Structure 1
Amino acid sequence: MHAIRIEEHGGPEVMRWTELPDPVAGPGEALVRLGAAGVNFMDTGAREQGTPGWVAPLVLGAEGMGYVVALGEGVDSLAVGDRVAWYYHPGSYAELLAVPVDSLVKVPEGIADETAAAVMLQGLTAHHFTTASYAVRPGDTAVVHAAAGGVGLLLTQMIKARGGTVIGLVSREEKAAIAKEAGADHVLVRSGGGFEDEVRELTGGQGAHVVYDGGGSATFRSSQLSLRPHGVHAYYGPFMGVPEIRPTDLPQSILLTYPVVQHHVPTREALVRHTGEVFDMLLDGKLTVRIGGRYPLADAARAHRDIESRRTTGKLLLLP
C-alpha cells in the first residue's frame, strides 16, 4: 500500500508518497480500505512542528471513512464490507489502515461516503462546542470565527438549530455569501482583531454570549472584548499561537475554555452517542456539509498548501 509519510517536520515539501507494507488487523482491530480522508489544521500542525504522539517519522492524517476488508481476533461487532468512519486515528493518509474497533462507527444508510469522512472530526468538534463548551440556548448570540471554513459552517448550522443568532467572521469578502448561506445572521470581514465594537453594536451594547475562536493570537483579545459579562471564550487555535494570559487580564468576568474533542468522546458509548446525534442532524436535513476541495491522496501536499493559504472554504478531502 501507499501512504503520505514524513521523515522530518517542515513545510508541505516534506510530505512523501511512500510505499509501505500492508498493515494486518490485530486483536480488536479492523483492516479498513480508505474511502476518503479529511484534511484538518491539526494535520498541518503535526506536519510542521509535531505534537505529543505525532513525532516524525510518521504517516499523517487523523480522520476518514472506509470499508472493512478484514477483521482481527475477537471482533464481532463489524462485518467485512461495512462502511465505517473515525474521527481520530493517527496515520489516516493511507490506502489501508488497521484501526481499533472502539475508534470506529458505522456509517448509516443515507449518508454518502464523502459526507461521512467530512463530518467526523469537525462535526464532533462543533457538537462539543454547542453542547458542552457552551450549551447554546434560544436567543443566545454566538461569534463564529472562520465561519466559511469546515468547522465554522457546521458550527453555524448547529447554533441556528438550537435557536441562536450567529455573527460570523470571514477573512475575505467572497466568503461572506457562503457563511450567510449556512445561516449566519451577520457576517463581518476581518482577517485579524478589531471586530469587538461591531459585535457590541450588533448585540445592543451587551456583547455576545459565546465566541468560538479558532483565529489564534491575532484575534484572542478582540474575542474576549466581544463578550458580555460571564460570556464564554472557547479558544481552539493552538497551532496559530497560544497567548500568555493572567487570570486578572480577563475582562467582564468572562470564562475561558480550551475545548478538546477527545474530552467530548472519552468512551466508546459517548463516541457512538454524539456521532449518532450528528448523523441524525444530517439525515433530518438540519445539517449539510460543504466539500471545498477533493484531492488525490498522493497530492496531499497541495491540499496542505491550499488550507494554509486561507483561501479555501468548507471541508477538504483526500481520495485514494
Structure 2
Amino acid sequence: MSTNLHPMLNVAIKAARAAGAIINRAALDVEAVRVSQKQVNDFVTEVDHASEQTIIETLLTAYPGHGILGEETGSTHGAKDSEFVWIIDPLDGTTNFIHGFPVYCVSIALAVKGKVEQAVIYDPSRNDLFTATKGRGAYMNDRRIRVSKRTQLKESLISTGFPFRKGDNFPAYLAMMSEVMQRTAGLRRPGAAALDLAYVAAGFTDGFFETGLQPWDVAAGSLLVTEAGGLVGNFTGESDFLEQKECLAGNPRIYGQLVPLLNKYSKFASAGDKAAARQAAANVTTLTVPSAPAEDDERDQSAFE
C-alpha cells in the first residue's frame, strides 16, 4: 500500500490483490474449477464467487456504510442508499480463464453520487496493477500512463468484443467490424473489456468499442482512460454511457474518427442513421453470414430501432 494514494484506492488495491491471489491459485489447476452457465456462452465459476466475496468483505470491513454493485451478487451486499457504491467485476474474462487463456482481470470502481472517482484493474497473471483517482491521473504499476499519440486511424490498433449471447445482433457487429477493419492497422478481441480499457489508457491500443457491456465491465476502465487523457462515451460520442450498454474509448483524435463510423449503429442514432446501419449489415451478411437456425431468429434489433 502507498501512503501517497487515496485511502479508498488503497483499500480497493488490497481487495483486488486478495482476489487475484484466489484466481492465481485456481489457475494452477483450472481443469478442477467448477463451472456453471448463466446463459448460453456466459459462464460463472466458483472462482468468480470466491473472488467477489473476498472483495466485498475487504471493502465493507473498511467502509461498512458503502453500497456494493457486483456482477455475481448484484446489490445484495452493503448499504442500499449510500452515495458511495463499489462497482465490482471479480473476474472479467471468465471464458478466457476457464480455458487457461491468460487474459482476465479483477475490476473495482468506486462511484460517488453516480460518478466514478476511484478505479483499480488488476491482471493477476501478469501482476499488472492499473489505478486511477479522479483528478490525479492514471498509473500502471506506479508509472504514470497516457493514451497513445497516434492521430491517423489507418495506423491504429483497435480492440473490441465480439457478440456471444443468443439475441446479440451479429449482423450489426459484422458491419461495425467491417467498417473498422478496413480503416485501421488491426482489430483485436482479447476477451476482457476492463483490460481492453486499461490498455487504451496505457497506449497499448488506440481505441476500443463494444456493445452489451454492464457497469461493472466498464466503470473502472472508463476512469483510467479519462485520467490518461482519453475519451469514453457511447457510439454517438455522448459521455453519459455507463448504463447504456455501448462503450467507445480512445485517444482524442482516434475517438473523434471512430464516432462517425460507429454512430449509426447506436441505439441512440437518428432514424436515417439506423437505416444506413441496416443496409450496411445487410450488405455484409449477404456475403458472409449463413442463415441462422430457426430458434436463433429472435435477434436484438435495438441498434436498428
Give the TM-score normalised by the residue count of structure 1: 0.28
Give the TM-score normalised by the residue count of structure 2: 0.29
Which structure dedicates a bigger proportion of its chain to helix?
2
